[in-house]
Amino acid sequence: MEFSTKTAAPESIQVDCLAVGVFEDKGMSPSARRVDRATQGAIRAAMASGDMKGKRGTFLLLRSLRGVRCARLALVGLGKSTDLGDKAFSEAVAATVRGCGAGVATLAFAAGDWKVLDRSPSWAARALVAAARATRFHSDELKTKASRGERQNGKPLRIFWLTEQRDRELQGALRQGQAIANGVELAKRLGNLPANVCTPEFLAGQARNLAREWRLRVQVLDRRRIAALRMGSFLSVTRGSDQAPRFIVLRYPGAGDRAFARPIALVGKGITFDSGGISLKPGAQMDEMKFDMCGAAAVLGTIRAIAELKLRINVVGVVPACENLPSGHATKPGDIVTSMSGQTIEILNTDAEGRLILCDALTYVQRFHPAAIIDIATLTGACVVALGNVHSGLFSKDEALAAELLSAAKAAGDSAWRMPLDEDYQEQLKSNFADMANIGLAGNAGAVTAACFLSRFVKDQRWAHLDIAGTAYRGGPAKGATGRPVPLLTEFVLSRAA
């Protein structure tokens, strides 16, 4: 899918489909009015017939109109003109891309029609790309050709964002949107791949591919080198699995200095399958635990986006990757391990494994003296209970960093909600036999105690934790990875690089 701006009048543009907005209260948008005049009332007639009343979510395709040069005219209901919000905008774009017809290869939107509440024209251009790309995205690389063909995908689309004057800022916004969408789609693809394909070594291969394509530096540590670093906590999780663990370090040296000074560090949970281990999970929906590497996928997707945007900033991505499975070799409840930091951990529940791999990654990443550390993890079911699939959970003791991330989340339309992280919760992690337990004693506030656990490995660091258990993927009939929080993270790095 390609996107570009174009300066042309709506009534004279030559495309397979032109989309114009119709409002419930104000009727025709400015461009709709122009097209209506050129067609001598085609839109007015459609509205008078009752086929298009401007209701949000409605869509009507008109064909072979005289007086205009587009083969199809799409009337898109936008609801009340005063409340075209983020969601209504994305839905309208999606409805248009879906409904414009499989024969459409060129589709134009009149940019001026789509004024989104509290959002800039550049924002709309980026959101256009996100919504259009999401509509056409499918994870079907593991479907056979025959069953892939059942889906009517249409032709490759070229989308034009029509403006009155040449606008280089909008052109740039479309390019940004593309880079972010490329990152989101990488994260979705990796998330959706099953655990028998997307293994720790597969993730390492993906990092190597990115490095080759975007001139990044990559290091992949195997079990021997992980052991040499004394990552006893990480290694305790991988013990029950026959898949070799991988510790992936991917560097984007955008600031151009040899020293790789003060990078932003992104640490992603890369559990390629989480059965719970000896503390085995129940069977229902266990397949969804292939999504337990979505934090890792978000790190790779964000770095891809940043590299494409050529941001002048250093970023390091760190991904501890392994499976969490039961076996005769697996870690048992009650086992005590020593983390890379030297602190000992009593593993009371082998299903609380994300924190066990992340704590060693957090210790490791400090060797880069990062300007900020952000870890991203499908860490707790408790976070899903607290926030559902709307907001990612944001935990940080650093007020400035938390504010920065929240504003990036808002700007990107990829929301996060601040959660508490005070010392009062720490006592739940007491162990009689080790420095700490890996689960909270009381069993409540599970998302917070998990964050508290991680906080013990980042003393005196600018650090934030994103729990994406509810936002990284969806279950049910629309099952699939969402690519979140790649937009949030990319926006955060973008604003740091600015």
From the list Zn ion, Mn ion, ligand BES, none, partner contacted by residue 381 (C-beta under 5 to 8 A by kind): ligand BES
Among 400, 383, 373, CA closest to 489: 373
What does the per-residue mask of binding to Zn ion show for 272-311, with x meaning CB under 5 A? Answer: --x-----------------x-------------------
Among 451, 413, 361, CA closest to 119: 413
From the list Zn ion, ligand BES, Mn ion, none, partner contacted by residue 346 (C-beta under 5 to 8 A by kind): none
Q: How far is CA 250 from the centre of its chain?
A: 18
Instruction: Name the catalytic one among 281, 410, 479, 496.
Output: 281
Nearest residue to Mn ion on Cβ basis: 351
Instruction: Compare residues 62 and 352 and give the one whose CB is closer to ligand BES.
Output: 352
Minimum CB separation of residue 339 from Mn ion in Å reads 18
Asked if 274 interacts with Mn ion (CB under 5 A), we say yes
Instruction: Compare residues 132 and 383 and give the one whose CB is closer to ligand BES.
Output: 383
Minimum CB separation of residue 330 from Mn ion in Å reads 13
Minimum CB separation of residue 378 from Mn ion in Å reads 9
Instruction: Compare residues 462 and 484 and give the one whose CB is closer to ligand BES.
Output: 484
Between CA 148 and CA 159, with CA 154 as vertex, the angle to 5 degrees is 135
Instruction: Compare residues 106 and 438 and give the one whose CB is closer to Zn ion.
Output: 438
Residues that bind ligand BES (CB under 6 A): 274, 292, 349, 351-354, 378-382, 384, 439, 446, 469
Alpha-helix runs per DSSP H in 199-293: 200-214, 223-228, 232-238
Instruction: Compare residues 216 and 451 and give the one whose CB is closer to ligand BES.
Output: 451
Distance CA 299, CA 184 (A): 10
CB 107 within 8 Å of CB 16: yes
CB 187 within 8 Å of CB 486: yes
Distance CA 162, CA 168 (A): 12
SS3 assignment, position 353:
coil
Minimum CB separation of residue 384 from ligand BES in Å reads 6
CB 75 within 8 Å of CB 32: yes
Distance CA 299, CA 301 (A): 5
Asked if 354 interacts with Zn ion (CB under 5 A), we say yes
418, two tokens: 């601040």
From the list Mn ion, ligand BES, Zn ion, none, partner contacted by residue 108 (C-beta under 5 to 8 A by kind): none
Minimum CB separation of residue 310 from Zn ion in Å reads 34
Instruction: Compare residues 358 and 464 and give the one whose CB is closer to Mn ion.
Output: 358
Minimum CB separation of residue 274 from Mn ion in Å reads 4
Minimum CB separation of residue 379 from Zn ion in Å reads 7
Map tokens 């996100």 to a residue.
130
Instruction: Compare residues 68 and 472 and give the one whose CB is closer to ligand BES.
Output: 472
What is the SS3 assignment for 66-127?
Answer: CCCCCCEEEEEECCCHHHCCHHHHHHHHHHHHHHCCCCCCEEEEEHHHCCCCCCCHHHHHHH
Could you say which of 185, 308, 346, 351 contacts Mn ion (CB under 5 A)?
A: 351
CB 185 within 8 Å of CB 140: no
* 281 belongs to the catalytic site: yes
* 188 belongs to the catalytic site: no
Between CA 73 and CA 96, with CA 159 as vertex, the angle to 5 degrees is 45
Residues of this chain, 63-82, that bind Mn ion according to CB under 5 A: none
Minimum CB separation of residue 95 from ligand BES in Å reads 30
Say what the alpha-carbon torsion angle 105, 108, 114, 120 is, to the nearest 10 degrees: 90
Instruction: Name the catalytic one among 34, 72, 269, 355.
Output: 355
Give the containing element (helix H, strand E) for 146: helix 145-149
Distance CA 209, CA 185 (A): 15
Q: Provide the 10 A C-beta neighbour count for residue 112.
A: 15
SS3 assignment, position 436:
strand
Instruction: Compare residues 30 and 334 and give the one whose CB is closer to ligand BES.
Output: 334
Map tokens 């860490």 to a residue.
379
| Residues identified as active-site | 281, 355
The site for Zn ion (CB under 5 A) is made up of 271, 274, 292, 354
